[in-house]
Structure 1
Amino acid sequence: MINGAHVIIYSRDAEADRTFLRDVLGYPHVDTGGGWLIFKLPPAEVAVHPTDGAEKHELYLMCDNLEETITELTGKDVEFVRPAEDQGWGILTAIRLPGGGELGLYQPRHQTAHNL
Structure 2
Amino acid sequence: MRDSQAIYNDIGSVLVAAAPDNAAKIIVRAELSPEGDHCKCEFDYVDSTSGETNWFTAGAQPNADLLDLLVELRRFFVDNISSQQPSFWHACEITVDVETLRIKIDFKYAD
After TM superposition, the score normalised by the length of structure 2 is 0.26
RCO greater where, 1 or 2, for CA within 8 Å and sep 6 or more?
2
Q: Based on CA coordinates, which of the two structures has the bigger radius of gyration?
A: 1
After TM superposition, the score normalised by the length of structure 1 is 0.25
Higher strand share: 2
Higher helix share: 2
